[in-house]
Amino acid sequence: MNESEITRDSAIERIRAALKRRSGKLWSVKGGRGTGWGWITIDAPPARQTWSHRLKAGAAGREDRPIRHGVMKHLNKVCRFSTGQSLTKALAPLRLAEVRGQARVVASLQAFVGAPYATAFLFHGGTGVGKNAVARALAGEFGCDIAGGQLRQQISGFYDLCGATLTEGDVHDRIRGAWYAAMNATGWKVITVSEADKVGGAARAVFLHALDYPPPNAVWVFTTNEVECIDRRFTTRCEIIEFESRAEMLEADADAWLRELWKEAGRRGASPRARQLPGAIVGGRLSYRACVLGLQSRLRAAA
């Protein structure tokens, strides 16, 4: 094959085969195209994931079969508890279907993903109920690399900002960048702004003008714990989505999730309940973040 005849798919196959010959392990080699650019991503196999990618059929004499998706999913889950990163990051949902306790919000956003348009959302609710996690999962639905580093996130069209530190210049920069196509399969961009109630006066004024004429193929997501502190001129320019935080509505789901994670981590005996974890339920409000942090402490103590 001449060098000029090499396609992206053939290059991926050659890279994957060469890595397999040299290391004896399977490497993740993926490729795509966006806005006139071609890209190839290579991820090394985790040290603990040394299994073969095919299962022997045994005495039945059948051909080798690819390992089942369910098995791969289970093995990937096990590695979440041995990566050295915080459990809050390891358990962060990558897609909307993985979000816990917010079925109404998820259904609404999944419908939006099916027929998207340039807009701004304002997520509000109690602390730790998953507002920022859902915003990131929404970006994942549009093909953004939310699990990568900051540079990879921004190249793929995902920007994660904090309203408390935004300056007028920062907002201008992000708005200008939002007019360019994202390097992902959909071309959509998602810009999240946490602590929207703390956006300063000058930066807020820039947002007010930008939200009247949003860039195409761009979704802004603002999150806040205190929606009543946000200027009405701002809230009327956003689609407001309230997150469930009442303990009586979320506690059963939180307890079921804790049991799943306790078992997934290989622990025996009864798993902790949300009410037994410090800060998980305060003032009748449940925090999934506090549940995860409390579980992390219990897992460390039970190791």
CATH number assigned to the domain with residue range 96-242, chosen from the 4 options 3.40.50.300, 3.30.450.20, 3.90.79.10, 3.20.20.70:
3.40.50.300
* CA 246 distance to own-chain centroid: 24
For position 54, what pLDDT does the model report? 35
Cα–Cα dist 152/41, whole Å: 11
Instruction: Enumerate the domain spans of the chain.
Output: 3-55+66-79, 96-242, 246-302
Cα–Cα dist 139/144, whole Å: 5
Q: Which residues pair with 120 in a beta bridge?
A: 220
- What's the distance, Cα to Cα, between the start and end of the chain in Å? 55
Q: Which residues pair with 194 in a beta bridge?
A: 162
Q: Which residues of the chain have pLDDT under 50?
A: 1-4, 34-37, 48-78
Report which of 138, 154, 156 is spatially closest to residue 219, judged by C-alpha positions.
Answer: 138
For position 178, what pLDDT does the model report? 86
Cα–Cα dist 139/191, whole Å: 8
C-alpha angle with apex 251: 247 to 254, nearest 5 degrees? 130
Q: Are 76 and 43 in contact (CB under 8 A)?
A: no
For position 33, what pLDDT does the model report? 57
Find tokens 């998706």 and name the residue.
69
For position 183, what pLDDT does the model report? 83
Q: Are 88 and 293 in contact (CB under 8 A)?
A: yes
For position 26, what pLDDT does the model report? 73
Cα–Cα dist 252/235, whole Å: 32
For position 7, what pLDDT does the model report? 67
Give the global pTM: 0.73
Q: Are 101 and 128 in contact (CB under 8 A)?
A: no
For position 243, what pLDDT does the model report? 98
For position 302, what pLDDT does the model report? 75
